[in-house]
Amino acid sequence: MMLRSAKWFEHESVETRFQHRSAMRTNGHDPDTFIGKPVIGIFNSWNDFNSCNAPHKELVEYVKRGIVIAGGYPMEMHTISASADFMKPSDLPYRNLMSMDVEELVRSMPIDGLVMLCECDKTTPGQLMAAASCNLPALQLAAGHRASGTFRGATVNYGTDLWRYMEQYGAGKLTHEDLQELEEGISCTQGGCPVMGTASTMKSVSELLGMMLPGTASIPAVHAARKTAAEATGRRIVDMVREQLTPDKLMTEAAFHNAIKLLAALGGSTNAVLHLTAIAGRRGIKIQLEQYAELTKDVPLIVNLQPSGAYSMDDSYRAGGLPAVVRELLPKLDGDCLSALGKPIIETYRTAKTRLTEVIGSMEKPLKERSGISVLKGSLCPDGAVMKRSAGTPALFRHRGRAIVFDDYVEMLDRLDLEDLDVDADSVLILRYCGPVGMGMPEWGAIPIPRKLQREGVTDMVRISDARMSGTSYGTVILHVSPEAAVGGPLALVQDGDWISLDVDRGRIEWEIDADEMERRRQTWIAPRSAHTRGYPRLFAKHALQAHEGCDLDFLRPERPEDVEFVEPVVGRG
């Protein structure tokens, strides 16, 4: 087998190979130590702002050790690090930028295989999109979830419990001093959110797609097994290069269907809908929004983790982790799809054990009979919207109420808690102009309950937005409304007092307005103008696909089967 890196280091042109070998020598790499060995690019995404990915500063050394043990040659590179905590207003656009960053580094460098170090919400899908486009042997290694914290003697988890306590603060049940104590108690270690939010969902998806070693998605950041997993990942990627086990053999259409079913069993994040659609799109596989409902209609919720359940990722790991979940789900899956070991998943996972049945249930004794992502269509969202069924309030699944409309996040914050706001528990709160083109689709969709209603004991309301929400959030929240308001979707024309009706079981959401009135409003509607006239935000707004298409950039998704193939560079003089 001729290695891809040989095009650089063993080029037929004396000048070309001299230049590349010399460049390696200047960094202390003797050609005798790397020529003829698989060169593994390690794409490290940690930085000092991103606490989720910070463990990779240390874990990368274990990956390198594994690569060397297996006979490969490790080369570490740093990429953009999409920190969900800090990137404003939204980290979603940087998922796409990260995918471009990784893809173009792979294209232009002498790399035979890649290990991608991930954790925070958009790093995992961004890297998977790149791997799907490059189609070189690739594996991901997650940093792991952070430990649960403590507050007033109780266990608290960053994410879901944070939102619950913020609601208590809004209702006047917590003081500023209480919040300071919570802040210190909940911020206890590095790593991803310790609940089934977007980070944990996408790690699980990556493992089932064959892009992460079996059993590694659920390991805590602080556990020694995380270091063992790092070394094992380094060893395995070298073998994958030799086997030429590439993403197209792992991330098949059947594998994506398996991942959608896993999403339901986990009670996973709605963000995964965007990500799976975008990743599959890079391989020329089109996932329709309706498939998220159709494929999961008979898949129950079997994982009892926040925000859909009660437990944390630490509990999930003790209960058997993702292997135990997949083993329970195997009757619903295509067992011939391959794991990262190159073996069918039915062979990989069938011996997994469930240790705590109160955390990981079974198909016979699920936490909830119906789970998955509810897909909604109707006059308000002709191209669809989604709702996380397992995190909603069943009493609101069939609802009719008057709209209260907010045109942006600042207006929402200014008006929401006014005592004279004409709102009651039956109102439908709408936040718009927050879709991919409008604002890069931030996680603003879980509109807070107005404080005057919180004081009355209201804990959930129907909320609608073209934005996203955190995977750690909960509530009867309709998200990803498509087409979004910024491109003239019906959501842009709704006014305060309009009637909105919701029927989750029928998959319908309707805006009760006659055609003449809708057309009159459309004639007076003016599209908002972005403040961004240049730079990446401008590029994203011009080329971002709508939510039901995954929000990738249109020029990154192949339109024809022949466009899927990775275009290699011409290797010559630098």
DSSP per-residue letters across 61-99: HHHHHHHHHTT-EEEEEE-----TTTSSS-SHHHHHHHH
78: tokens are 């740093």
> In sequence order, what are the beta bridge partners of 311?
305
Residues in the chain: 574
Residue 520, C-beta contacts closer than 8 angstroms, at least 6 positions apart: none
Return the closest-CA partner of residue 275 out of 409, 146, 142, 122.
122
The DSSP-derived string for 218-264 is T-BTTSHHHHHHHHHHHHHHHHHHHHT--HHHHS-HHHHHHHHHHHH
373-524 sits in which CATH class? Answer: alpha beta
d(CA 222, CA 191) in angstroms, rounded, equals 8
- For residue 510, how far is the Cα from the chain centroid? 28
Q: Any idea where the domains of the chain sit in the sequence?
A: 373-524
How many beta carbons lie within 10 A of that of residue 507, not counting itself? Answer: 16
Distance spanning both ends of the chain, measured CA to CA: 26
Longest dimension (CA), the chain: 79
pLDDT, position 160: 87
Q: What is the reported pTM?
A: 0.97
Euclidean distance between CA atoms 62 and 49, whole angstroms: 22
pLDDT for 203: 98
Question: Do 324 and 355 contact (CB within 8 A), yes or no?
Answer: yes
Q: Which residues pair with 115 in a beta bridge?
A: 42, 139
Q: Would you give per-residue pLDDT tens digits along the chain (574 residues)?
A: 899 999 999 999 999 999 999 999 999 999 999 999 999 999 999 999 999 999 999 999 999 999 999 999 999 999 999 999 999 999 999 999 999 999 999 999 999 999 999 999 999 999 999 999 999 999 999 999 999 999 998 899 998 898 889 888 888 889 999 999 999 999 899 999 999 999 999 999 999 999 999 999 999 999 999 999 999 999 999 999 999 999 999 999 999 999 999 999 999 999 999 999 999 999 999 999 999 999 999 999 999 999 999 999 999 999 999 999 999 999 999 999 999 999 999 999 999 999 999 999 999 999 998 888 999 999 999 999 999 999 999 999 999 999 999 999 999 999 999 999 999 999 999 999 999 999 999 999 999 999 999 999 999 999 999 999 998 899 999 999 999 999 999 999 999 999 999 999 999 999 999 999 999 999 999 999 999 999 999 999 999 999 999 999 999 999 888 899 999 999 998 7
Rounded CA gap, 86 and 517, in Å? 42
Q: Three-state DSSP class for 383?
A: strand
478 strand-pairing partners = 464
Q: Return the sign of the alpha-carbon dihedral for residues 300, 306, 310, 315.
A: positive
pLDDT (0 to 100) of residue 472:
87
